[in-house]
Amino acid sequence: MAVQHEILSRLKPRIRKLGRPPGLAVVLAGHDPASEIYVRSKIKACAELGIFSEKLTPSETATTEELAALVEELNRRSDIDGILVQMPLPKHVDARRVLETVAADKDADGFHPMNVGFLVAGRPAPRSCTPAGIVELLKHYQIPIAGRHAVVLGRSDIVGKPMALMLLQENATVTICHSRTVNLPAMCRQADILVAAIGRAAFVTADFIQPGATVVDVGINRITDLAEAARLGRSDEFAAKGKAVVGDVNPLDVARVAGAYTPVPGGVGPLTIAMLMSNTVGLAERHQGAA
């Protein structure tokens, strides 16, 4: 997609100026199929840009202590600028502890509490990749943000909360909605920009969308029921693959009502990877004194 290509193109001259290639370590514990696909995409992007990448695959039986020790070892390595712990981790692992073991200056995902604090304070730091990519997307397509009402549907630490902060920094008026919001469709219908990140397949229908609004669909949900796939216009995909992928927004409704929208798959996902590359290059510049 054009905006992903533009982001990656801007990184190439920055990488060439560095004394050594940026280094990204990816920790993949367990055998989650979606995670394995994501990690392959991230490593492929590194190779195309000239970023050194290393994939570490501890056993899915690895303990919290063992994973934290692995991250500590990566923190000490001078050839590694960014560390990404691929989520989800196995259920027996304390994911928060492992994530917070990542040094703030090697936090390629922008999840460390110190970097979240810098986001709140408006100071430079790695940014959570998906929301940062969405801001780049809106700017690329010249979607006005300042003065517009943005509604973020979802309050996760990974997307919802940082998305609201980044939109606020772009001078939008921001409302955060979630599963307990009273009269949710009416609240969402006020949005000039609606970001759906609630993790429920096709949850957002035409009732949630102001005609002409910009709708950003963050969801990735797999449909395994033929009738449901047919209802959402995904019969051909289901016939070919035995499953279908939809976002958090009903794909037929968003195409009919929205002024602009991101498709699923192929919308926000590539931008998340592009911003991961951007964070890694920024960390390398900081470590090499180039920033």
User: Contact 277/26 with Cβ under 8 angstroms?
Assistant: no
Q: Which of 4, 81, 107, 109 is catalytic?
A: 109
* Percentage of the chain modeled with pLDDT above 70: 99
Task: Over range 194-218, report the average pLDDT.
Answer: 97
Q: Which of 4, 42, 217, 248 is catalytic?
A: 42
Taking 3-state DSSP, the helix, strand and coil percentages for the chain, each rounded to the nearest 5, stand at 45, 15, 40
Q: Which of 81, 86, 192, 253 is catalytic?
A: 86
Residue 42 annotated in active site: yes
Q: Indicate the average pLDDT of the chain.
A: 94
| pLDDT top residue among 244 and 31 | 244
Domains of the chain, first to last: 2-126+271-287 (3.40.50.10860), 129-265 (3.40.50.720)
pLDDT at 291: 56
C-alpha atoms less than 13 angstroms from C-alpha of 133 in its C-beta half-sphere: 30
Residue 4 annotated in active site: no
Q: Taking the model in full, what pTM does it have?
A: 0.93
Cis peptide before 263 (omega within 30 of 0): no
Residue 241 annotated in active site: no
Q: How far is CA 54 from CA 26, 101, 161, in A?
A: 6, 18, 30
Q: Which token pair is 213?
A: 């609004």
